[in-house]
Amino acid sequence: MRTLLLFFLLFTFQFSFSSGYKKVDSIVKNYPKKFKSIDSFAERIESDFSTDIEKTRAAYFWIANNISYDYYSLNNNINHYKDLDYKLGIDYDKQLEDFQYKYATKCLNDKKAVCEGYSLLLKFTLTNLNVECNVISGHGKTTMKDIGKVVFDSNHAWNAVNIDGKWHLIDATWSTGNKESKPGEFKFSDEYFFAKPEHFILNHYPKEIKWQLLEKTVTKNVFFRAPLFYKSYFNSKLKLTKMNGTLISKDKIRITFDNIDETGVYTYWFKKFSNYSKPISFQKINGKYHLVMPFIKGFKDELIIFKNGKACLAFKII
């Protein structure tokens, strides 16, 4: 009886938690497109919402729909910390925090940022709202070059937020849908808001292993050896049998899945040898789903798997 009650309370909490997003989002859509300060931004959220979950969603939703990605800074490798002037007699951490606050404010005012700007803006806004939030640095896996090559430098930043004693992961940068060709256009998606840690680790590897938020942590070798996962994979119901992103070039390419969505329409596309995507027919053998595709032996290529027209995962063929 106690277990049943606990399940009911958890289910009710999760249902109200997710269904409440629409209400929060609809209110935030009417916010000004620009705020003068982090304080004024936080004050507006404080006046409209009462719970930490609502405040976190409101801050995240506004940032992800109003701050454009700063491709100029990215392409020109601009270091925003070069102007940080350390002063003797002043605590280093205090100087750094003050500088980061100014940088986050600049991102708010300029309405553009790279990943660190997004994560710092969310951190300081939520801190102002008495919600514990950390900036997490690590590696964001985004290209085929990341498959099979272990990288030790960080190239991305995101957030971890503590709600009622439980940490949750957020990536506001990857939620904007901004493209370099259309920097002012937003194609918001919230797959990276409170994402399941087992999903988040597929393309986010934190410097500090504790921020995987997993009981069984993933090694860096396993992370980089895996395929490239797109956000559509999270809701695709696909589950790979082996997390190997590098395939050997033979006359046929074979991939096995533990699970698929049998109602979905799946296609595949080779970058070099396909002018268009081709339909996939899975063979179900002993409870597993086998994908077999003809390939020109001895060539290198890239393979992308689609579900209902959306890219889900990609492999490197060597």
Q: Return the domain boundaries, the chain.
A: 21-225, 233-317
Radius of gyration of the chain (CA): 22
- The CATH topology of domain 21-225 is C8orf32 fold (3.10.620)
The pLDDT of 75-83, averaged and rounded, is 79
Contact 229, 238 (CB under 8 A): no
For the ranges 83-97, 154-168, 274-288, the maximum mean pLDDT occurs at 154-168
Higher pLDDT, 93 or 304: 304
**pLDDT computed for residue 179 by the predictor:** 85
* 20: confidence class by pLDDT, cuts 50, 70, 90: low
Non-local CB neighbours of 26 within 8 Å, separated by 6+ positions? none
Mean pLDDT of 127-148: 96
Q: Do domains 21-225 and 233-317 have the same CATH topology?
A: no
Lowest mean pLDDT of 85-99, 125-139, 146-160, name the range. Answer: 85-99
Contact 266, 306 (CB under 8 A): yes
Give residue 275's pLDDT: 79
Which CATH number is 233-317 given? 2.60.40
CA 271 to chain centre: 25
Residue 284: what residue type?
K
User: Residue 131 pLDDT more than 80?
Assistant: yes
Task: Lowest mean pLDDT of 2-6, 48-52, 131-135, name the range.
Answer: 2-6
The yes-or-no verdict on residue 175 having pLDDT over 60 is: yes
| Gap between the Cα atoms of 130 and 162, Å rounded | 10
Total residues found in the chain within this entry = 318
Residue 149: closest CA among 200, 198, 205: 205
